[in-house]
Structures are given as C-alpha cells and as structure tokens.
C-alpha cells in the first residue's frame, strides 16, 4: 500500500524539523516560559501564605485585645469592689470610733456626776452633822449637862444612818 | 463566525472538487478513490486552485516545490515545475528522470516506464529528499511554532508576573496542561520537569500539523500528520525518549522478569522485549490512522455529491462534513494529547524506580 510505505525523504525532513524545533525551543522558548510560570505560581502561593499568616496574626491580636480588655474589666471590677469594701470599712470604723467616744464621754460625765454627788453628800453629811451638833448643843445647853455623852450618841446614830 | 468560515472552507473545497470532477466526467465516472488518495498522499507541488477561464481553458494554479535527489553520489536540485506537463524526461547525470504517480523514476532518454503484471513500475528510483507538499507544510508549521513560542517567551520574560493577555492567555492553559496533567501526573516528580520541553514540543508540533491538515485550501490541506513517515519519525523520537533515560529496574523488569517462575519467564521476556517496540509502533499507527481516517471521511462525504451527480444531496453532504470538521478539530487536539500522554506514560514507566 502506498499509504503505509514510509518515504525516506519525509522521515529525514521530519527528523530535522523536529530536532531543530526541539533544540531551538528548548534553548530559547521553554525555559523562560516555564520559569515565568513557576515564578508566578510561587509568588501567588507565597502571597497566599502571607495573607494567611497576616490573617492569623490579626486574629491573634484580636484575641489578645479581647483578653486585655477582659483583664482590664476584671481589674476595674476588683478595684470597685475593693473601694466599696474600703468605704464600708471606713464607715464602720468611724461609727465604732464615734460610739466609743460617746461612750467615753458619757462615762466621764457619769464619773463626774458620781464624784460631784459624792462630794455633795460628804459636804451635806458634814453640814448636817455640824448642824445637828449645834442643834443638840443648843438643846443640851438648855436641858443637859453632860454634853460629851450626848454628842457620842448622836454621832453613832448619824453613822448608822450613813445617808444613803 | 467560525461556522461561516468553515462553510466558506467547504465551498472552496467543493469548488476544487468540482473542477476535478469535471475533469473526471470527461472520462465518464468520478474516480472518488483516486481523488481521495490524491488528496491524502504527498505531492511534489502545492496545489492552490484549478478553474476554467472565460476562454474555456482550464487553469491550474499550484506552487512549484524544490526537488532534491541523491543520485550517483551527488545531490541534484530541480524545480518540480520542470517535471509537470513535461514532454521530455529531465536529464540527471547520464540518466533521465520522469515523475510518475508522484514518484521519480530513472528512465532511458525517451522516458519509457516499465510496468510489471500488477501495474507497479519497476524502474529504479533515486533517493528523494525533495521539499514535497508535506515537508513544505511542516516547515510552515515549524516557522509558526518558532514565531509563536519565541515571541511568547520574550513576552514572558518581560511581563511574566501579571496574568497572561492575548495570545499567551490561550497558550498558557495548554502549556500548564502539558506540564501538570501530562508530564507531572505520569512521570516521577523529580524527573518530570526534565521531559517537559520535549513533551511540549511534541504536543504543539503534532497539534499544529493536525490543524494545518484540516485547513482545506492553500497553505493547508497537507496530510502530514496522517502520513506514516511523519508519525513513524515521531514514534522513533518517543522510543528514544522512553529508552535512553530508562532506569536499571526497567531493563531488569524486561529481561529478567523478577519474581516469576522460570516457565513464565520464558514466555514473558520475549513479550516484554517486543513490547518495547510495540508501544511506539502503536503511537505511530494511532496518529496516522486517526488523521487519515478523518480526511478520508470528509473527502468521501464531499465526493458523494459528485458520485450521485445530484445537487440535492449537497446539503446533506455539507452538513455531515461540517459535523466531521468539528470532530476533526477535536481529534486534532485529542490525538496530539494522546500521543503526548502515552509518551509521558511510557517515559514514566521506564524511568520510575519503585513500580517494577
């Protein structure tokens, strides 16, 4: 068959053409094309990686921010709580101090009253004794002779009375 | 728009065929077989157009091609014009040369052609290295490929980073397809990139020649990728690429068949050995048969009009050939892909270290 018979001329020219194409394209075309494609692919993948990393970083910062805000809020709460406690403590203390002071003043006043009362009683007793003596002296001067014995009796009675 | 073009192509082809058929009608019947064979075989001139001028004289316009012959240890150069419609044989050294049925034969000074009983010519032939129609269209394809890829390479060197524009936007997916889905998916990762330039060249060389073959008028219409010499040569290159870089394990697998019992080895080793040659042989036959078959079908569909001598069958023929043209466009890229893919597959098998 004519169709299936290879012709040496065409084989020769095909080989020559293919070899020329292969050599020329391999030297001048494919390397720069393939390199450009590779460089672009790598750039894209690097860029994607960078974007991913940046996204992660942003997320991390967001988390950090949230954490800091949370901590600050907690701290604020703690400070407020402490302040409230301090306030109530101060109030309590002040109240206590005031109570004590008033107690002290009251006691002092009581003591003074007691002392004055005591002094007044002693003075009264002395005055009453003196007055009684004077009265008795006057009575006895008139009625009795032995005033020593009567004075003694009156004093005994007065002590027994003790004017409480 | 593309469909309009194809219809235009079809019209032009049918015009050519009409011219041929008129010629055939003088003899009585349409020689569809001869016509188809003439269209799919190689030729020493590049046919452009035939028509009958207003004086009723047939005009044949074709491009003459250089004829290069090796005879008497010497190269001989002619123009193919001097052989067509020549009344006397052309002198070549002490002998004479005649172009008969597309081949050159050495004859006596009267140009006598001696035929044997079956009608085959028994005259001796010189070695023919002529730039035939196929060679010319191959050179055209080479120039196209060089133009496309050298300018693409320049563009890539300059604007490699931004997304491809214009012509590169078409080339780039194909280049990436060959690199990723043919080379890298079939060949081991560390070796794949070494074969990418070869596979890219192979793919685009076959594809562009398939496409030039589909164009039905000058400067297309050659049946280069449907020529057995062309596919055989490419198969030889595939064979070399498969076997030169083959690993030790590959040869061991073929000649020793490790792990097999001895009787099976006796069967297996010759089979594997023949397999080395059958693989590229199948590549050769597949490309040749697919492209030639497509051309024969389209030409046959058009010939139906002239065989039946009816204008009413023409729409059917044209519609069917339109479908075939679409299919041929697909086959053109598909066969280039299959040839390249199988070459890559065989390279992958021969260079891999683990699989065998």
Average pLDDT (B152-175) is 86
Give A120-153 pLDDT, tens digit per residue.
Answer: 989 888 888 888 888 877 777 776 656 677 678 7
Q: Does residue B27 register a pLDDT over 50?
A: no
- Higher-pLDDT residue of B49 and A103 is A103
**Structural domain of residue B157, as residue ranges?**
134-351
Do B142 and B290 lie in one domain? The reply is yes
| Residue B79 counted as domain residue | yes
Do B106 and B141 lie in one domain? The reply is no
Stretches in chain A below the pLDDT threshold 50: none
Do B91 and B139 lie in one domain? The reply is no
Contact residues, chain A, for B229 at CB < 8 Å: 6-8, 10-11, 14
Pick the last residue of a domain from B107, B130, B153. Answer: B130
Contact residues, chain B, for A7 at CB < 8 Å: 42, 128, 229
Do B93 and B180 lie in one domain? The reply is no
**Count of domains for chain B:** 2
Do B170 and B141 lie in one domain? The reply is yes
Interface touch A25/B234, C-beta < 8 Å: no
Closest chain A CA to residue B145: A21
Contact with chain A for residue B201, Cβ under 8 A: yes
Pick the last residue of a domain from B87, B115, B130. Answer: B130
What ipTM goes with this model? 0.85
| pLDDT value for B37 | 85
| pLDDT value for B86 | 72
Do B307 and B325 lie in one domain? The reply is yes
Binned at pLDDT 50, 70 and 90, residue B14 comes out as low
Contact residues, chain A, for B201 at CB < 8 Å: 18, 21-22, 25-26, 30
Identify residues of A whose CB sits under 8 angstroms from chain B CBs.
2-15, 17-18, 20-22, 24-26, 28-37, 39-40, 43
Q: Does residue B22 register a pLDDT over 60?
A: no
The answer for B 45-74 residues in CB contact with A (under 8 A) is 68
| pLDDT value for B121 | 84
| Residue B37 counted as domain residue | no
**Nearest CA distance, B163 vs chain A (angstrom):** 9
Average pLDDT (B251-273) is 87
Q: Which of B128, B197, B292 sits opposite A7 (nearest CB)?
A: B128
Pick the last residue of a domain from B102, B130, B158. Answer: B130
| pLDDT value for B257 | 80
Do B140 and B241 lie in one domain? The reply is yes
- Backbone angles phi and psi of B221, in degrees to 5: 80, 0
**Nearest CA distance, B204 vs chain A (angstrom):** 10
| Residue B233 counted as domain residue | yes
| pLDDT value for B7 | 58
Do B242 and B138 lie in one domain? The reply is yes
| pLDDT value for B26 | 46
| Residue B335 counted as domain residue | yes
Contact with chain A for residue B228, Cβ under 8 A: yes
């Amino acid at each position: 068959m004519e169709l299936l018979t290879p012709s040496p001329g065409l084989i020769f020219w095909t080989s020559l053409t293919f070899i020329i194409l292969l050599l020329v394209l391999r030297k001048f075309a494919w390397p720069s094309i393939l390199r450009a494609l590779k460089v672009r692919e790598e750039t894209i993948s690097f860029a994607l990686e960078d974007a991913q990393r940046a996204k992660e970083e942003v997320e991390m910062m967001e988390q950090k921010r949230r954490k800091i805000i949370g901590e600050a809020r907690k701290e604020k709460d703690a400070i407020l709580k402490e302040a409230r406690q301090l306030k109530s403590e101060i109030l309590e203390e002040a109240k206590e101090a005031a109570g004590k002071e008033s107690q002290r003043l009251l006691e002092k006043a009581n003591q003074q009253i007691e002392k004055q009362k005591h002094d007044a009683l002693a003075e009264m007793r002395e005055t009453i004794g003196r007055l009684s003596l004077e009265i008795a002296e006057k009575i006895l001067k008139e009625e009795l002779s032995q005033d020593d014995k009567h004075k003694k009796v009156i004093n005994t009675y007065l002590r027994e009375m003790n004017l409480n | 728009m593309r469909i309009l073009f194809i219809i235009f192509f079809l019209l032009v082809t049918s015009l050519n065929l009409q011219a041929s058929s008129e010629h055939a009608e003088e003899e009585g019947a349409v020689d569809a077989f001869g016509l188809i064979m003439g269209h799919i075989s190689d030729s020493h001139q590049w046919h452009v157009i035939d028509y009958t001028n207003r004086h009723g004289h047939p005009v044949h316009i074709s491009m003459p091609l250089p004829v290069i012959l090796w005879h008497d240890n010497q190269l001989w150069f002619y123009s193919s014009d001097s052989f067509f419609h020549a009344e006397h044989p052309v002198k070549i050294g002490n002998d004479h040369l005649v172009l008969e049925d597309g081949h050159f034969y050495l004859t006596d000074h009267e140009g006598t052609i001696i035929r044997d009983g079956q009608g085959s010519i028994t005259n001796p032939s010189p070695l023919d290295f002529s730039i035939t129609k196929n060679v010319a269209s191959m050179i055209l394809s080479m120039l196209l490929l060089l133009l496309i890829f050298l300018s693409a390479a320049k563009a890539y060197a300059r604007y490699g980073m931004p997304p491809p524009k214009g012509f590169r936007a078409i080339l780039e997916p194909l280049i990436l397809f060959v690199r990723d889905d043919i080379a890298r998916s079939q060949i081991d990762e560390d070796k794949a990139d070494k074969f990418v330039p070869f596979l890219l060249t192979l793919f685009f060389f076959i594809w562009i020649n398939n496409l030039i073959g589909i164009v039905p008028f000058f400067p297309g219409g050659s049946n280069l990728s449907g020529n057995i010499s062309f596919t055989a040569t490419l198969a030889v290159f595939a064979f070399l690429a498969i076997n030169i870089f083959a690993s030790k394990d590959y040869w061991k697998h073929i000649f020793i068949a490790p792990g097999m019992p001895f009787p099976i080895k006796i069967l297996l080793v010759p089979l594997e050995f023949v397999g080395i040659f059958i693989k590229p042989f199948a590549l050769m036959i597949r490309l040749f048969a697919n492209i030639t078959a497509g051309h024969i079908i389209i030409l046959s569909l058009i010939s139906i009009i002239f065989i039946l001598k009816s204008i009413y069958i023409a729409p059917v023929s044209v519609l069917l050939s339109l479908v075939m043209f679409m299919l041929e466009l697909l086959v053109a890229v598909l066969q280039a892909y299959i040839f390249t893919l199988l070459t890559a597959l065989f390279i992958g098998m021969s260079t891999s270290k683990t699989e065998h």
